[in-house]
Amino acid sequence: MSNLIGSNEIQNDLARYRDSTNLVIASQLFDDPVRRDAFTTLYSVMRLIDDTVDAVFERTVTVEERRSIAASLKYWESMIHSTYCGQPQSDFAVKLSEINQRYAIPQSLWQNFFRAMWMDYDGVVFDTIDHFKQYCEGASVAATTIYLMLIGAQTSELGPDHSGNFDYISTGRNLGIWAYTVHILRDLREDLLTGDTGRYLIPDEILRKYELPRLCLREIAESGKIPSSLPEMVREFWLLGQQYGKIGMVQADTLARTLPLPRQKVLCIIISIYSHMSEAIVRLGWDVIGKNPQQAVADREDLIRRILTASSWSQLRRFWISDSIVP
């Protein structure tokens, strides 16, 4: 990526995230093109930054490559900061500033996001569950909250109105932590085999309880020999996420009832993808290394088609609220 703020290369870098992911596919249901563009723009920016930093895990990087990654991270952090201080640094920063203002996105969410990105850059591992949740505030909660605000905001010439003071921050935190635990378990084998040493996102506090040190996890992923303690450990981590998911889904249900049907469908697609993945992990008996959670999930295209045919929230709700998620 060019270090020249405002370079056309920014748009080229972002373009590859605009047409293939579940979130972008869901965003096409927005009947408001301004909201749709805002959603895909912020999603693409966060994905680009996250993928840039992830290079430190995927292979052994040189000193010069690390400097380049750090420079890119500082570049984006400076750009986002400029959108809140009234001095956007480029035409693209002006666009980001307009989005942040139109949908009343707090600067603190972006600050949390970049804090997590710097933790990734430093190769963070988590000793405690609290340390992991602190990281989640930026790694998943910030993005989840921003998406909820983009979905829920009622906008007018007078500015944003976030649906009767709905608590986006609390809902985003609960759904963000839940979705991230599902995401981590889905990709656990792949992460353990990443690069020369693997990537470890499950807190040591949980691993120690089951006598599964980090290096042992990589050996398990390489050999495919699954000890009985592994599904037990996965189940505990899964349950950690569920306690947040149960609350978050009840909160999201409150928001959904205030939305027009197209935006209800956007919210439903996003949440149902994670709830179906969560259920797949349960069906696998929490063995997410010896078995592939992705293959256990029903056809996503079929799921999305069925969501698209729904004509009311009561029909949509059944796609993502199930006994395994919300009692």
CATH 2.40.37.10 fits 9-317, yes or no: no
Q: Of 87-91, 165-169, 213-217, 268-272, where does mean pLDDT reach its minimum?
A: 87-91
The reported pLDDT for the residue numbered 88 is 86
Average pLDDT of span 237-248: 96
- What pairs with residue 161 in β-bridges? 154
Query: Residue 302: which pLDDT band, with cuts at 50, 70 and 90?
Result: confident
The reported pLDDT for the residue numbered 259 is 93
Examine the pLDDT at 2 and tell me if it is beyond 60.
no
* Domain residue ranges in the chain: 9-317
The reported pLDDT for the residue numbered 3 is 38
* Residues 23-54 pLDDT 10s: 777 888 898 899 999 999 999 999 999 989 98
d(CA 149, CA 160) in angstroms, rounded, equals 10
Average pLDDT of span 57-81: 89
Examine the pLDDT at 283 and tell me if it is beyond 70.
yes
> If you average pLDDT over every residue of the chain, what do you get?
87
Query: pTM (2 decimals)?
Result: 0.90
* Residues 146-160 pLDDT 10s: 999 999 987 654 445
Query: Residue 321: which pLDDT band, with cuts at 50, 70 and 90?
Result: low
Average pLDDT of span 153-179: 78
* Residues 190-203 pLDDT 10s: 999 988 888 999 99
